[in-house]
Amino acid sequence: MRAEAVKSSKQAADPIEQHFYEVIQLIGENPEREGLQETPKRIAKMYREVFGGLQEDPEEVLGKTFPAEGASDIVIVQDIPFYSMCEHHFVPFFGKVHIGYIPDGRIVGLSKFARLVDILARRPQVQERMTNQIVEALNNVVCPIGAIAVVEAEHLCMSMRGIKKPGSRTRTIARGGVFKTDLVQEERFFRLLEKE
C-alpha cells in the first residue's frame, strides 16, 4: 500500500521532482526518509527560481531609455551582487558586477542595470559569457559611446570540489565602443571604481 502511494505521488509530481527523486536514490540515499521527502519538490521550486532568467529577455529590461539631459561622461553602477549557476557543474558562482557606460544622447534608469545582471545570472552560465552579454545588451539597446563591465566572482566548482581553493576569485572584463579603443577611458573607469 505504501509503495503504491509513493508511486502515485511520484507520477503526480512534475518532471524535475521525479528526476531528483531518482537522483537521491542513485547517490545511495532514501528519498522517503523524513528529511528528504519534500526535497525533490523544494529543488524543483528552487530551479524554477534560479533559472528564471531563461524566460526573460535581458534587452527588454533596458528598453525604456531617457534623454541624457547633457550627461556625456562615464556613468558607473558598481557592486551589483549576483548569484548564478555554473553550466559545467550546476553549482553556484557569485560575486559583484561593475558596469560603466558613456551616454550618447540616451540614459537608462539605474535600477535597470541590476535587473539586467539578475536576468543574465539566472540561467546556466559561464562568467565570461555573462560579462560579454552585459556589454552586448547595453550596446544593442542604449547605443552608448562606450560600455564596460567587470565581473568578480567566486566559483564553488573551484572552492568546494576539484582543486578546493576557497576564496579564489575570477575577474572578467568586457568592453565596447570607446572603452575598447581608448586606453585612457578604460584606465579612468578603473580609477573611478577604486574611489570609495
Residues marked active site are found at 86-89, 127, 155, 157
Long-range contacts of 160-169 (CB under 8 A, 24+ apart): 160/91, 161/89, 161/91, 169/95
- Which residue from 80, 89, 82 is spatially nearest to 156, judged by alpha carbons? 89
**From residue 40, how far is each of 30, 31, 76 by CA, in Å?**
12, 8, 41
Rounded Cα–Cα distance for residues 81 and 73 (Å): 24
| Residue 170 near residue 150 (C-beta atoms within 8 A) | no
Annotation-wise, does 157 bind a ligand?
A: yes
Rama region for 179: left / alpha / beta (φ>0; ψ in -120 to 50; rest): alpha
Query: Residue 87: exposed, middle, or buried by beta-carbon count in 10 A (0-12, 13-18, 19+)?
Result: exposed
Please check if 86 is assigned to a binding site. Answer: yes
Q: Is 37 exposed, middle or buried (0-12, 13-18, 19+ CB in 10 A)?
A: middle
Structural contact between residues 188 and 147, judged by C-beta atoms closer than 8 angstroms: no
Q: Binding site for Zn(2+): residue ranges?
A: 86, 89, 157
Q: Binding site: residue ranges?
A: 86, 89, 157
